[in-house]
Amino acid sequence: MKRWLITGGAGFIGSHLTRSLLRRGDAVVIVDDCSTGSMENVPNDPHVNMLHGSVCDELLVDEACDQVDAVVHLAAAVGVRRIIDRQVRSIVTNVRGTEVVLHAAAGHGNVPVFLASTSEVYGKGARVPFCEDDDSVLGSTSLHRWSYACSKMMDEFLALAYYRERGLPVTIGRLFNTTGPRQSPHYGMVLPSFCRAAMRGEPLQVHGTGKQTRCFLHVHDCVRAIEALLDEPQAVGQVFNIGGSEELSILDLAHRVNVYCKQSAPIRHISYGEAFPHGGFEDMQRRVPDTTRLQRVTGWQPQCDVERMIADCCASL
């Protein structure tokens, strides 16, 4: 039986990963302050040890690392709206939390670490699909939206520095628009927001023209990718895109949700100024991952299409 520490294990992705690892016969220690996660997401299982607290708590994380064979660091500020509204906490959680985790893992005999990063680090890059070695193009510091991308870039720099200087086995995954069952419609998560609105017959709010495109990934495929990387020694010291293969516009997604829900709920376009009245936001027009490296190293391929994501998201609301 392998023992895992999952920071953010009470959250959306963390709770799905916890259940998957339990099915493998492993044990899980969770560190989560439930600021965006929920105790309802945590399985009632004797092989789960829930430690309620912040990933920035050095003593708590150090004690947790002493109990495990590997770490999956998922704890982070989530959702564009929350990041804009709570900038200081978001930056500190991302940067300081990652520093605490890496330091503790290194201090307990170089416990292997998987660091969850984000497609946000590509910023406004115009070259698509995004490849792991592409340059990052971020906006002005006056636009709060880019603080999240910058903080996650610092996480990656720090993790790779620990790998190079101290031999800490680190693998980084850049997640692209992961969605599916149990994802909260809060914090600006688009698919559950659309699903909830359509099921209630309320307007689906689309920011701007809705022509901005994304590649969504079912959380089950995301978990499969994380586990594949954790099981592959060649992945250590590398960065991997983890994302879907179908590019679609936000407006198209809204229409598909309406079709699935058998609704004709109105689609309301709102300006970014209306959506974010305090400013600080700038959108990315296209976000498309090149997953060649992930496929080459692990053989992983996404299995769930957008219709499956919509169905599973609606069923969980």
The count of residues in the chain is: 317
The answer to whether 242 touches 172, Cβ cutoff 8 Å, is no
CA atoms within 13 A on the CB side of 131: 5
Residue with tokens 């809705």: 210
**Nearest alpha carbon to residue 214 among 244, 256, 180, 188:** 244
**Is 272 annotated in the active site?**
no
- Among candidate residues 122, 148, 162, 260, the one labeled active-site is 148
Q: Using N-to-C axis directions, what is the helix angle for 87-107 and 146-166, rounded to 10°?
A: 10
Q: How far apart are the first and last CA of the chain?
A: 34
For residues 93 and 162, what is the distance between their CA atoms, to the nearest angstrom?
Answer: 19
27 and 2 Cβ atoms separated by less than 8 Å: yes
Catalytic residues: 148
